[in-house]
Structures are given as structure tokens and as C-alpha cells.
Amino acid sequence: MGEKQQDDSASAVKKKKETVANLEKLGQRLYDQMEQGEFPWVKMPSRSIENIRYNPDLRQYVLGERFVKRSARNIRHIRPLSQLVWTAFFAHKLSTQRKTSTLRDVYYSAQAYQMSFKDQSESDNVITDLETVIGLAREDFNVFPEERSAIFGDLTIEYNVPGYEGKRMNLTSHPDGLMIGPALTYSEFVKTSADKVFAIEKGGLFTRFVEEKVHEKFNALLVLTAGQAPRATRHFIHRLNKELELPVYIFTDADPWGMHIAMVIISGSANAAHLRDLTTPDAIWSGVWATDIINYDLPSDPLTEIDIKRLHELQRDPRYKDELWQREIKIFLKIRKKAEQEAFSRYGLTYIVDEYLPAKLEETR
């Protein structure tokens, strides 16, 4: 595994270099345009709904052929363009000084440079523009969202954030798990004894798994998505799958929303159609299925109207075209019931670990 490690380490550093280079190239391009007496402009793929398509080969959404040009000659463009340039400048500063920031923090930082954003959604939108223009995720230029999820299991990582360079850490060292924040996201993987990853929707079940030593019994790394997985977490799961070649099993509630949490980890979202490396196409949704509600006779609630409407939407979604998904959607619509992960507690606290988990792993292997 030694050789592979070297490559991985090089890739994280390479990515950082690529980010800085891309930002500088953008500045260079705009600078040259102005030097040539031209109004500065940028061109980027359009992110409008009509330009988002599903790519079956990549198994994720991608942007189509349409481009938009944002030019300072246009009175309606000049403000967003100047915001974009400032954001690039700020991202460059973050990257070269190896500092991180949050979306909210970027919004406030702008004011120190007499750049104004109407509200945070305007600044968030400009950050997405910058991702589209330079073709990299905001995490690459050190801007993270607020929400955090966690990981627990036998994986040793090596930090490369300032002050921690070279420092190693085993992810079993804290029983609550470790937050997947900026430092962990770009750490290098050193070694692991695990041979699989469990991604879990709910904090309660995550804690139960840690307590029941699922990581040891099943030789697994446990990732808490805490609802819809943040992009940093999706990227992290992508790395675990790609760099360490670990299969990924996803456990969610048995309802359309749980299904979609699994699907976004697998195939990504339309909002991130301009980005790559956030998806894990080979990850597996292991449960809880509609079928499980019947087979395990789980305590359940009736589906609401909104649930049913959502199921019909998913039924038509190209990401859901595979047999498993279509079958489960049909069963949901037939039984009109949903269940939570905690529902297994009716058979005792360890039932889910002792009985359900081995059975499902066998079934979805």
C-alpha cells in the first residue's frame, strides 16, 4: 500500500497547486483583456435548468453545451463580475495562506474590501459562479459550508494544514467520531484495516454502531451524514472509495427522503452539475428498504401526501432508473408506509447489528 500512499499525497498537493494556478490564470486573462482596451469578460457553462443533463456514463448530472458570457460592458453584468473577481482574489488569498473560510464568512469578508453583497444567497451564488469558471469545488479553494458530519473507525490520517503538518491521527481516538471539517477533508490517508464503509443517515444509529463496535465486528469505517451529506462529506466518501478502494454501504430511513440521501452520495445533485469528484457511483443503498418494512414487520407511519408526490418525482428521475430503485418506489407506493432506522429497536437494542446488518450485507454484496 506504500506506493499508492505516495500518489495520494501528491494528488492533494497537486489539487491545491491547480486551484491556485487556475485562479491566477483567471486574473491574468482579465488583466490582459483590459490591457488590450477590451471590457473584461468571462465565459462559463450555463447553470440554468435547461442546460443540466444526466450523463449515464459518468452516472451523475453534468452541464450541457450552453455557455454564458459575463462582460463588464453590460451594466447588469459589471457588478456580479466584480464580485466574481473579488471572490477569486479572496479564494487565492485563502489558498496561498492556507486558511479556510465558510460561506457566511466570505459574505462578511467582502465588506472589508468595500465589496457589497445584497445578502448571503448572492455571495453563495457568486461562489458557485467561481466554481464553474475555474472548474473546481469551493472546498478546493478552502471555502466550506457550516454543516458538518463525522467519521469513526480505524483509519490513520496525516494532516497537512498549517501547524499540524505531518501530525497523524487514528480516527478511533474519539468515541463521538471526528468532524469532517476542512483539515480532515484534505488530509492524506496513511493506513487502514477497514475493508468497507458504512454511511449512516442518523446520529442515533451512528452512536449505537460505535457502542456495539460495528467497526470491529464488520471491519468498517462509519460515516455519519447527518441528513443530506454535505459536499465535503460526499467528497470524503468519494476518496475513501477511490483512493482506498473500499466499498460503500449506505443506511437511511425507509422513506423517499432517505432514498434520496443515498442517491446524492451515489450520483450527486443537479446543483453540483458543474463539479466532479463528489459522487461515488458504486456505493450501495443497503437499507432500510420498503421491502424491509414488510420482511421485518417494522413499526411504521403512513406516507404523507408530500411523501407520495416526492416518490412520483423520483420515479421519473433518470438517476432512479435501475431495477432496485424502481422496485422499492413501487412497494412504497403500494404499502403506503414508511419507517425510521430506529424502528428496529422493537426487537431489542442489538438486533439491528446482530441480525439485520449481516443479512443486508449479504443481500447487497
Partner 1 sequence: MTQTFEEISPADFFYRNRDIAGFTNPSRAVFASIRELVENSLDAAEIAGTPPDIYVRLTFEEDDQESGIYKLRVEDNGSGIVSRHIPSAFGQVLFGSKYKLKQSRGTFGLGGTMAVLYGQITTHKPARIVSSTGSTKVYIYRVMIDIQRNKPIILERRVLLNKEQWHGTIVEFSLEGDYFRAMPKILEYLKQTALVNPYANITFIDPKGRLFKFSRVTEKMPPPPKETLPHPYGVDVEMVKRLVRVTPHQKMMDFLSAHFHRVSERIAEKFLEFSGIPKTRNPKKLDPQEIVRFVQMLKRFEEFRPPSAACLSPLGKDLLTAGILKELKPELTIVCQRKPSTYAGHPFIVETAIAYGGEIPKGGDFVLYRFANRIPLLYDEASDVAFRVIKSMNWRRYKVSPNMPIAVLVHTCSTKIPYKTVGKEFIADRPEIKREIQNGLREVARGLQRFLSKREHVEREKRRLSVFSKYLPKIAKFSTELAGRERQPEIEKLLRSVNTSG
Give 326's contacts (C-beta < 8 A, 6+ positions apart). 315, 320
Tell me the C-alpha distance between 334 and 336, whole Å: 6
Least distance (Å) between residue 17 CB and partner 1: 15
Pick between residue 75 and residue 112 the one whose CB is nearest to partner 1.
75
Tell me the C-alpha distance between 93 and 142, whole Å: 10
Cis peptide before 353 (omega within 30 of 0): no
Q: Applying CB under 8 A, which residues contact partner 1?
A: 23-24, 26-28, 30-31, 34-35, 37, 39-40, 72, 75, 78-79, 81-82, 85-86, 88-89, 92, 114-115
Which member of 31, 61, 107, 108 is catalytic? 108
Pick between residue 96 and residue 170 the one whose CB is nearest to partner 1.
96
Least distance (Å) between residue 14 CB and partner 1: 21
Helix (H) or strand (E) holding 335: helix 323-335
Least distance (Å) between residue 41 CB and partner 1: 10
Tell me the C-alpha distance between 201 and 205, whole Å: 8
Closest CA to 38 of 46, 47, 29, 26: 29
Pick between residue 140 and residue 201 the one whose CB is nearest to partner 1.
140
6's grid cell = 505516495
Cα 175 vs. chain centroid, distance in angstroms? 23
Least distance (Å) between residue 194 CB and partner 1: 42
Pick between residue 79 and residue 148 the one whose CB is nearest to partner 1.
79
What is the layout of strands, in order, in the sheet containing 188-192? 168-170, 155-158, 188-192
Owner of C-alpha cell 447553470: 47
299's grid cell = 413499526
- Catalytic: 186? no
Pick between residue 116 and residue 350 the one whose CB is nearest to partner 1.
116
Active site members: 108
